[in-house]
Amino acid sequence: MNRRVVVTGLGLVTPLGNDVPTSWKNIVDGISGVGPITYFDTTNYEVKIAAQVKDFDPANYMPHKEIRRHDPYQHYLIAASAEAVADAGLEVTDDIADRTSVLLGSATGGMQSFQEYSTLIYETNNPRKMTPFAIPMLVANGASDVVAITVGARGPSAPLVSACATGADTIGYAFQLIKMGRIDRAIAGAGDYPIINLGIAAFDRVGACSRNNDDPAGSVRPFDKNRTGMVFGEGAGVLVLEELESARARGANIIAELIGYGSTTDAYHRTAPHSEGIGASKAVIAALEDGGLNATDVDYVNAHGTATSLNDPSETRAIKRALGEHAYEVAMSSTKSMTGHAMGATAAMEAAFCSLAIRDQVAPPTINYETPDPECDLDYVPNTAREMQIDVAVSNAFGFGGHNASLAFRRFVG
């Protein structure tokens, strides 16, 4: 079967806002979400900045007694899922529950809870200090479970974990299940809460993080010659995907159509992308072929764009390989310049941004772009959003271990 799949609902918790309208307005306006880390004492850390979620209150989404039963990454996914379901006007009644899935991934899972309870057990050596809710808090499938229970979805429920490609792969998996006729709709996305002592220390040791602590807002510089490295972000992105006729039958508002998905592995290095972007380019090509699209159909690319010396040139080469000479005609931006890099959650956020770019016919900017890099010579929509015709948008996500995933979205035409 080859059924059409449409986006009918969006939910976001990002460093730029705790809902879709606020996050998207700040993305289009080119606002940075980066600032000093306030979650822990950074005195002994070289990295002191991150893109934290602000003024988020989980009590707005769950009873107070439930808050301590869920890890923060789950709080974000519960909130984003609630917004997406409401945006879609979706009610999972008993007659559709078996064909409704919840597929919510996480690159890091319950890192905060793991760190908290590991420290507690180490310091006290008392197993009775451990909460009975620890396992659901720690595991990567915890958010899928609680959201499935909340909405009453009885279709396949599982997370995917593919490092920073997690959000795109999870959405892609949901897309395939619907396309093949296994299910009719899915709540799909990813969430992460990596801004903790362990996360910052580990990624800084890899040498990937910006230490531009004196200028937080200007610290993330994708594709700029004077890039300083990636900055951690956090949050969640969730899409409601539906088979077209199912969405039409209930009069759902269609935001965009998800038309293709491509996934590859570099099999090259544990952390570095292939320098020529071979695997990444094949993921883009696979997404276009899956959707019956040509390279010249692409109008906008939401880049992985981490602002690292390895990713930016590699991704630029990948786009040239995938799109040929048309690469120079495509608008390509990195919204990570504003949200930071929220690990697996970022790809889900960016899938939402692509859907919104098509809806509003505007390409988000790459902020902090000042000095062109000879190795990165495409159109990165520098500093200011661009109103333009966007019929096809591609969202790229490339993760540690060589995981590559691309999603192709199209303006919906009945």
At 202-233, the pLDDT tens digits run 888 887 899 999 999 999 999 999 999 999 99
Q: What angle do CA 407, 412, 413 make, to 5 degrees?
A: 140
Q: What is the pLDDT of residues 326-365, one digit of tens each?
A: 999 999 999 999 999 999 999 999 999 999 999 999 999 9
Which residues are CB-contacts of 114 (< 8 A; sequence separation ≥ 6)?
A: 138
Mean pLDDT in residue range 385-393: 98
CA torsion 341-407-74-8 (nearest 10°) is: 130
Q: Where are the beta strands (DSSP E) in 14-67?
A: 35-36, 49-50
Q: What is the pLDDT of residue 10?
A: 98
Annotation: CATH topology of 5-249: Peroxisomal Thiolase; Chain A, domain 1 (3.40.47)
- Catalytic option among 164, 209, 354, 376: 164
The answer on pLDDT for 272 being more than 80 is no
281 closest CA partner among 328, 317, 308? 317
**pLDDT band at 129, cuts 50/70/90?**
confident
Residue 409 phi, psi dihedral angles, 5° rounding:
-110, 150
Q: What is the pLDDT of residue 401?
A: 82
95, pLDDT greater than 90 = yes
Contact 97, 130 (CB under 8 A): no
User: Cα–Cα distance between 280 and 308 in angstroms, integer?
Assistant: 16
Check: CB of residue 101 under 8 Å from CB of residue 242: no
176 burial level (CB within 10 Å; 0-12, 13-18, 19+)? middle
CA nearest 280: which of 297, 258, 296, 303? 303
pLDDT at 207: 79
Please tell me the predicted confidence (pLDDT) of residue 132.
86
pLDDT above 90 (res 45): yes
Task: Give, in degrees to the nearest 5, the angle at Cα 143 between 141 and 147.
Answer: 120
Other beta carbons less than 10 A from residue 356's beta carbon: 23
- Across 72-82, average pLDDT: 97
pLDDT for position 299: 98
Per-residue pLDDT at 136 exceeds 90: no
Cα atoms found within 13 Å of the Cα of residue 399, Cβ hemisphere only: 27
Spatial contact of 186 and 100, defined as CB atoms under 8 Å apart: yes
Of the candidate CATH numbers 3.40.50.720, 3.30.420.40, 3.40.47.10, 3.40.50.300, the domain formed by 262-410 belongs to 3.40.47.10
Q: How much is the pLDDT for 216?
A: 97
What are the distances in angstroms from CA 222 to CA 14, 123, 349, 381, 382? 19, 42, 17, 11, 10
- What mean pLDDT do residues 369-379 have? 97
Asked if 313 contacts 320 with a C-beta cutoff of 8 angstroms, the reply is: no
Mean pLDDT, rounded, for 40-48: 95
Among this protein's residues, is 209 annotated catalytic? no
pLDDT at residue 269, rounded to an integer? 82
The pLDDT of residue 35: 98
% of the chain exceeding 70 in pLDDT: 100
At 139 the pLDDT is 85
Is pLDDT above 80 for 86? yes
Give 45's DSSP letter.
-
The reported pLDDT for the residue numbered 341 is: 96
- The DSSP secondary structure of 203-248, one letter per residue, reads HHHHT-B---TT-GGG---TTBTT---B-BB-EEEEEEEEEHHHHH
Comma-separated ranges of CATH 3.40.47.10 domains in the chain? 5-249, 262-410
Query: What pLDDT, on the 0 to 100 scale, is given for residue 354?
Result: 98
* pLDDT for position 290: 97
What does the pLDDT average to over 176-181?
97
Q: Following CA atoms 161, 33, 58, 24 in sequence, which dihedral angle do they give, to the nearest 10 degrees?
A: -80
